[in-house]
Amino acid sequence: MNFLYCTFEPLTKAENGGCAILPPGWIHATRNLSSSVLIMGRKGKVYIEEEDTEIEICPDRIALLIAYRQHKGKIKLRSTASYYWLHFNHPHKPIILKDTDVSMLVNNPAIIKQRLANAALIPQQMDLPEPDYIFQIFRKLLNEQENPSYISWKYQLLFQELLIAITEAAISTYKSTSPLTADSSLVNSIISMIADNLTDPDLSVKSIAYNLQYNPDYIGRQFKNIMDIPIGKYILSLRIKLAAKFLQETHETVANIAGKCGFISLRHFLRQFKSEKGMTPSELRYRFQAIHINFE
Protein backbone atom coordinates (compact mmCIF):
# COMPACT_ATOMS: atom_id res chain seq x y z
CA MET A 1 0.00 0.00 0.00
CA ASN A 2 1.08 3.58 -0.67
CA PHE A 3 1.60 6.12 2.11
CA LEU A 4 1.95 9.88 1.71
CA TYR A 5 4.64 11.65 3.74
CA CYS A 6 3.38 15.19 4.45
CA THR A 7 5.76 17.71 5.98
CA PHE A 8 4.87 20.49 8.42
CA GLU A 9 8.15 22.28 7.71
CA PRO A 10 7.66 23.42 4.98
CA LEU A 11 3.91 23.28 5.53
CA THR A 12 1.45 21.07 3.67
CA LYS A 13 -1.62 23.33 3.30
CA ALA A 14 -5.33 22.64 3.03
CA GLU A 15 -7.06 24.20 0.02
CA ASN A 16 -10.81 23.59 0.16
CA GLY A 17 -13.26 20.86 1.09
CA GLY A 18 -16.86 19.78 1.07
CA CYS A 19 -19.35 16.98 1.54
CA ALA A 20 -20.24 14.98 -1.58
CA ILE A 21 -23.74 13.46 -1.75
CA LEU A 22 -23.87 11.20 -4.78
CA PRO A 23 -26.92 9.62 -6.48
CA PRO A 24 -27.21 6.09 -7.91
CA GLY A 25 -25.59 5.85 -11.34
CA TRP A 26 -22.87 8.42 -10.56
CA ILE A 27 -19.24 7.56 -11.41
CA HIS A 28 -16.12 9.55 -10.57
CA ALA A 29 -14.62 11.51 -13.47
CA THR A 30 -11.12 10.78 -14.80
CA ARG A 31 -8.73 13.40 -13.41
CA ASN A 32 -5.08 14.18 -12.78
CA LEU A 33 -4.86 16.97 -10.20
CA SER A 34 -1.98 19.08 -8.88
CA SER A 35 -3.39 18.71 -5.35
CA SER A 36 -4.04 15.62 -3.24
CA VAL A 37 -7.49 14.76 -1.92
CA LEU A 38 -8.23 13.37 1.53
CA ILE A 39 -11.58 11.55 1.72
CA MET A 40 -13.61 10.14 4.60
CA GLY A 41 -16.54 7.87 3.79
CA ARG A 42 -19.94 8.57 5.38
CA LYS A 43 -22.47 6.41 3.50
CA GLY A 44 -22.45 3.77 0.77
CA LYS A 45 -19.46 2.70 -1.29
CA VAL A 46 -17.52 4.47 -4.04
CA TYR A 47 -14.89 2.63 -6.10
CA ILE A 48 -11.97 4.55 -7.62
CA GLU A 49 -8.83 3.46 -9.47
CA GLU A 50 -5.60 5.43 -9.10
CA GLU A 51 -3.12 4.04 -11.60
CA ASP A 52 -2.14 0.67 -10.06
CA THR A 53 -4.22 1.07 -6.88
CA GLU A 54 -7.89 0.25 -6.27
CA ILE A 55 -9.54 2.44 -3.63
CA GLU A 56 -12.83 1.66 -1.92
CA ILE A 57 -14.45 4.58 -0.10
CA CYS A 58 -16.88 3.39 2.58
CA PRO A 59 -18.10 4.52 6.02
CA ASP A 60 -15.42 5.13 8.67
CA ARG A 61 -12.60 4.73 6.16
CA ILE A 62 -9.97 7.30 5.20
CA ALA A 63 -8.91 7.30 1.55
CA LEU A 64 -6.36 9.33 -0.35
CA LEU A 65 -5.98 10.45 -3.96
CA ILE A 66 -2.40 11.56 -4.53
CA ALA A 67 -1.45 14.60 -6.60
CA TYR A 68 -0.19 14.08 -10.17
CA ARG A 69 -1.52 10.51 -10.30
CA GLN A 70 -4.49 9.85 -12.57
CA HIS A 71 -7.62 8.58 -10.84
CA LYS A 72 -11.03 7.60 -12.20
CA GLY A 73 -14.25 5.90 -11.19
CA LYS A 74 -14.31 2.13 -11.47
CA ILE A 75 -18.06 1.37 -11.47
CA LYS A 76 -21.29 3.38 -11.28
CA LEU A 77 -22.97 3.72 -7.89
CA ARG A 78 -25.71 1.23 -7.16
CA SER A 79 -27.11 3.34 -4.32
CA THR A 80 -26.65 6.78 -2.76
CA ALA A 81 -23.20 7.45 -1.31
CA SER A 82 -21.66 10.28 0.64
CA TYR A 83 -18.19 11.33 1.79
CA TYR A 84 -16.22 14.30 3.09
CA TRP A 85 -13.41 15.52 0.83
CA LEU A 86 -10.54 17.95 1.27
CA HIS A 87 -7.99 19.13 -1.30
CA PHE A 88 -4.52 20.00 -0.01
CA ASN A 89 -1.32 21.26 -1.62
CA HIS A 90 2.25 20.05 -1.16
CA PRO A 91 5.25 22.36 -0.72
CA HIS A 92 7.18 20.03 -3.04
CA LYS A 93 6.59 16.93 -5.15
CA PRO A 94 4.51 14.40 -3.17
CA ILE A 95 6.65 11.93 -1.22
CA ILE A 96 5.14 8.45 -1.65
CA LEU A 97 6.34 5.66 0.63
CA LYS A 98 5.83 1.92 0.17
CA ASP A 99 5.15 -0.61 2.91
CA THR A 100 8.85 -1.51 3.18
CA ASP A 101 9.68 2.18 3.82
CA VAL A 102 6.94 2.60 6.40
CA SER A 103 7.83 -0.58 8.27
CA MET A 104 11.25 0.96 8.97
CA LEU A 105 9.66 4.20 10.25
CA VAL A 106 7.05 2.85 12.65
CA ASN A 107 8.67 -0.26 14.16
CA ASN A 108 10.64 1.72 16.76
CA PRO A 109 9.36 4.63 18.94
CA ALA A 110 12.71 6.41 18.63
CA ILE A 111 12.47 6.36 14.82
CA ILE A 112 8.86 7.58 14.96
CA LYS A 113 9.84 10.53 17.18
CA GLN A 114 12.75 11.42 14.92
CA ARG A 115 11.21 11.01 11.46
CA LEU A 116 7.65 12.10 12.24
CA ALA A 117 8.51 14.98 14.55
CA ASN A 118 7.59 17.44 11.79
CA ALA A 119 5.61 15.29 9.38
CA ALA A 120 2.44 13.26 8.94
CA LEU A 121 2.09 9.78 7.46
CA ILE A 122 -1.17 9.22 5.58
CA PRO A 123 -2.11 5.73 4.28
CA GLN A 124 -3.88 5.53 0.91
CA GLN A 125 -6.78 3.83 2.65
CA MET A 126 -7.42 2.86 6.26
CA ASP A 127 -10.37 1.82 8.39
CA LEU A 128 -10.48 4.04 11.45
CA PRO A 129 -10.73 2.25 14.81
CA GLU A 130 -12.26 5.39 16.39
CA PRO A 131 -13.74 7.51 13.57
CA ASP A 132 -15.75 10.01 15.65
CA TYR A 133 -12.77 12.26 16.41
CA ILE A 134 -11.77 12.43 12.73
CA PHE A 135 -15.39 13.18 11.78
CA GLN A 136 -15.44 16.06 14.26
CA ILE A 137 -12.29 17.62 12.79
CA PHE A 138 -13.70 17.31 9.25
CA ARG A 139 -16.88 19.08 10.36
CA LYS A 140 -14.87 21.82 12.10
CA LEU A 141 -12.83 22.32 8.91
CA LEU A 142 -15.94 22.67 6.76
CA ASN A 143 -17.54 25.02 9.28
CA GLU A 144 -14.37 27.13 9.40
CA GLN A 145 -14.32 27.22 5.59
CA GLU A 146 -17.91 28.51 5.41
CA ASN A 147 -17.72 30.73 8.52
CA PRO A 148 -14.06 31.76 8.72
CA SER A 149 -12.52 33.10 11.91
CA TYR A 150 -10.80 36.47 12.08
CA ILE A 151 -7.48 34.61 11.64
CA SER A 152 -6.89 32.58 8.49
CA TRP A 153 -4.42 30.25 10.23
CA LYS A 154 -7.23 28.54 12.16
CA TYR A 155 -8.18 26.58 9.01
CA GLN A 156 -4.62 25.37 8.55
CA LEU A 157 -4.26 24.49 12.23
CA LEU A 158 -7.39 22.34 12.05
CA PHE A 159 -5.96 20.64 8.96
CA GLN A 160 -2.70 19.90 10.79
CA GLU A 161 -4.74 18.45 13.68
CA LEU A 162 -6.48 16.21 11.15
CA LEU A 163 -3.18 15.00 9.67
CA ILE A 164 -1.78 14.29 13.15
CA ALA A 165 -4.90 12.35 14.19
CA ILE A 166 -4.74 10.22 11.03
CA THR A 167 -1.00 9.61 11.54
CA GLU A 168 -1.58 8.48 15.13
CA ALA A 169 -4.31 6.10 13.96
CA ALA A 170 -2.05 4.79 11.19
CA ILE A 171 0.82 4.12 13.61
CA SER A 172 -1.41 2.38 16.15
CA THR A 173 -3.06 0.11 13.57
CA TYR A 174 -0.11 -0.50 11.23
CA LYS A 175 0.76 -4.10 10.52
CA SER A 176 3.68 -4.62 8.19
CA THR A 177 3.48 -7.14 5.39
CA SER A 178 7.25 -6.91 4.92
CA PRO A 179 9.94 -8.26 7.29
CA LEU A 180 12.46 -5.79 8.69
CA THR A 181 15.48 -5.35 6.45
CA ALA A 182 19.00 -5.96 7.69
CA ASP A 183 19.65 -2.19 7.61
CA SER A 184 16.56 -1.50 9.73
CA SER A 185 17.58 -4.13 12.28
CA LEU A 186 21.06 -2.59 12.40
CA VAL A 187 19.63 0.87 13.08
CA ASN A 188 17.43 -0.56 15.83
CA SER A 189 20.58 -2.04 17.40
CA ILE A 190 22.35 1.34 17.16
CA ILE A 191 19.40 3.13 18.79
CA SER A 192 19.33 0.56 21.60
CA MET A 193 23.08 0.88 22.18
CA ILE A 194 22.82 4.68 22.31
CA ALA A 195 19.97 4.50 24.83
CA ASP A 196 21.94 2.11 27.06
CA ASN A 197 25.19 4.13 26.91
CA LEU A 198 24.00 7.71 26.44
CA THR A 199 25.75 9.08 29.54
CA ASP A 200 29.07 7.41 28.71
CA PRO A 201 31.50 10.12 27.49
CA ASP A 202 33.25 7.52 25.33
CA LEU A 203 30.10 6.78 23.32
CA SER A 204 30.81 7.58 19.67
CA VAL A 205 30.29 6.33 16.15
CA LYS A 206 33.58 4.43 16.40
CA SER A 207 32.68 2.75 19.70
CA ILE A 208 29.26 1.74 18.38
CA ALA A 209 30.80 0.35 15.18
CA TYR A 210 33.41 -1.57 17.19
CA ASN A 211 30.79 -3.18 19.47
CA LEU A 212 28.49 -4.08 16.56
CA GLN A 213 31.45 -5.18 14.41
CA TYR A 214 30.67 -2.89 11.48
CA ASN A 215 32.59 -0.23 9.61
CA PRO A 216 31.92 3.27 11.12
CA ASP A 217 31.17 4.79 7.71
CA TYR A 218 28.69 2.01 6.94
CA ILE A 219 26.68 2.34 10.14
CA GLY A 220 26.73 6.12 9.72
CA ARG A 221 25.20 5.88 6.25
CA GLN A 222 22.55 3.36 7.28
CA PHE A 223 21.57 5.38 10.35
CA LYS A 224 21.33 8.63 8.36
CA ASN A 225 19.28 6.88 5.67
CA ILE A 226 16.59 5.78 8.14
CA MET A 227 16.77 8.46 10.85
CA ASP A 228 17.59 11.40 8.56
CA ILE A 229 20.16 12.64 11.08
CA PRO A 230 23.84 11.75 11.68
CA ILE A 231 24.58 9.48 14.66
CA GLY A 232 26.68 12.13 16.41
CA LYS A 233 23.99 14.77 16.13
CA TYR A 234 21.36 12.30 17.36
CA ILE A 235 23.45 11.47 20.45
CA LEU A 236 23.96 15.18 21.12
CA SER A 237 20.24 15.95 20.86
CA LEU A 238 19.38 13.18 23.36
CA ARG A 239 22.04 14.40 25.79
CA ILE A 240 20.75 17.96 25.58
CA LYS A 241 17.18 16.76 26.26
CA LEU A 242 18.40 14.77 29.26
CA ALA A 243 20.34 17.78 30.56
CA ALA A 244 17.27 20.00 30.19
CA LYS A 245 15.28 17.49 32.22
CA PHE A 246 17.87 17.54 35.03
CA LEU A 247 17.97 21.36 34.97
CA GLN A 248 14.22 21.53 35.37
CA GLU A 249 13.75 18.77 37.93
CA THR A 250 16.86 18.95 40.15
CA HIS A 251 19.03 21.52 41.93
CA GLU A 252 22.31 19.97 40.83
CA THR A 253 25.01 22.27 39.53
CA VAL A 254 25.37 22.78 35.81
CA ALA A 255 28.82 21.17 35.94
CA ASN A 256 27.46 18.01 37.61
CA ILE A 257 24.64 17.78 35.07
CA ALA A 258 27.10 18.12 32.20
CA GLY A 259 29.10 15.18 33.55
CA LYS A 260 26.00 13.05 34.22
CA CYS A 261 24.85 13.55 30.62
CA GLY A 262 28.07 12.36 29.01
CA PHE A 263 29.73 15.67 28.08
CA ILE A 264 33.51 15.59 28.19
CA SER A 265 33.79 19.12 29.65
CA LEU A 266 31.64 21.91 31.03
CA ARG A 267 32.83 24.23 28.27
CA HIS A 268 31.75 21.79 25.57
CA PHE A 269 28.36 21.33 27.26
CA LEU A 270 27.71 25.08 27.53
CA ARG A 271 28.58 25.66 23.88
CA GLN A 272 26.42 22.79 22.59
CA PHE A 273 23.50 23.59 24.89
CA LYS A 274 23.40 27.23 23.79
CA SER A 275 23.61 26.19 20.13
CA GLU A 276 20.76 23.66 20.51
CA LYS A 277 18.42 25.56 22.84
CA GLY A 278 19.22 29.18 22.05
CA MET A 279 19.89 29.90 25.74
CA THR A 280 22.31 28.92 28.49
CA PRO A 281 21.50 26.10 30.95
CA SER A 282 21.06 28.67 33.73
CA GLU A 283 18.63 30.69 31.61
CA LEU A 284 16.55 27.58 30.89
CA ARG A 285 16.46 26.66 34.59
CA TYR A 286 15.41 30.20 35.56
CA ARG A 287 12.63 30.33 32.97
CA PHE A 288 11.28 26.96 34.06
CA GLN A 289 11.33 27.89 37.75
CA ALA A 290 9.71 31.25 37.05
CA ILE A 291 6.77 29.48 35.35
CA HIS A 292 6.38 26.50 37.68
CA ILE A 293 5.62 28.15 41.01
CA ASN A 294 4.10 26.01 43.74
CA PHE A 295 1.82 27.47 46.38
CA GLU A 296 1.43 25.50 49.61
Q: Give the three-class secondary structure for 183.
A: helix
Domain boundary (173, 190, 224) is at: 173
The C-alpha atoms of residue 256 and residue 246 are separated, in whole angstroms, by 10
Other Cβ atoms less than 10 A from the Cβ of 40: the count is 23
Strand (E) or helix (H) holding 145: helix 131-146
Q: Please indicate, yes or no, whether residues 168 and 226 belong to a single structural domain of this protein.
A: no
276 Cβ neighbours under 8 A, 6+ residues apart: 236, 237, 240
Q: Please indicate, yes or no, whether residues 43 and 163 belong to a single structural domain of this protein.
A: yes
Specify if 59 maps to a domain. Answer: yes
Q: Can the peptide bond before residue 10 be classed as cis, meaning omega within 30 degrees of 0? A: yes
pLDDT at 295: 46
- Which residue type, as a one-letter code, is found at position 218? Y
- Positions of E strands within the chain: 3-7, 13-22, 36-43, 46-50, 53-57, 61-65, 71-73, 81-89, 95-97, 119-123, 125-127
Other Cβ atoms less than 10 A from the Cβ of 109: the count is 10
Other Cβ atoms less than 10 A from the Cβ of 162: the count is 25
Q: Please indicate, yes or no, whether residues 76 and 24 belong to a single structural domain of this protein.
A: yes
Residue 198's CATH number: 1.10.10.60
- Phi and psi, residue 180, nearest 5°: -65, 140
Q: Please indicate, yes or no, whether residues 132 and 238 belong to a single structural domain of this protein.
A: no
Q: Please indicate, yes or no, whether residues 206 and 284 belong to a single structural domain of this protein.
A: yes
For residue 126, list its beta bridge partners. Answer: 62
Specify if 31 maps to a domain. Answer: yes
Q: Please indicate, yes or no, whether residues 169 and 201 belong to a single structural domain of this protein.
A: no
pLDDT tens for the chain, residues 1 to 296: 899 999 999 999 999 999 999 999 999 999 999 999 999 999 999 999 999 899 999 999 999 999 999 999 999 999 999 999 999 999 999 999 988 888 888 888 999 999 999 999 999 999 998 899 999 999 999 999 999 999 989 999 999 999 999 999 999 988 765 566 777 889 999 999 999 999 999 999 999 999 999 999 999 999 999 999 999 999 999 999 999 999 999 999 999 999 999 999 999 999 999 999 999 999 999 888 766 555 44
pLDDT at 164: 96
Q: Please indicate, yes or no, whether residues 116 and 202 belong to a single structural domain of this protein.
A: no
The C-alpha atoms of residue 143 and residue 118 are separated, in whole angstroms, by 26
Q: Please indicate, yes or no, whether residues 187 and 276 belong to a single structural domain of this protein.
A: yes
Q: Please indicate, yes or no, whether residues 19 and 161 belong to a single structural domain of this protein.
A: yes
Q: Please indicate, yes or no, whether residues 61 and 43 belong to a single structural domain of this protein.
A: yes
Specify if 104 maps to a domain. Answer: yes
**CA dihedral of 141, 146, 149, 151, whole degrees rounded to 10:** 80
Specify if 296 maps to a domain. Answer: no
Cα 93 to its chain centre, rounded Å, is: 17
Range of 14's domain?
Answer: 3-173
The C-alpha atoms of residue 183 and residue 3 are separated, in whole angstroms, by 21
- Count how many domains the chain has: 2
The C-alpha atoms of residue 272 and residue 148 are separated, in whole angstroms, by 44
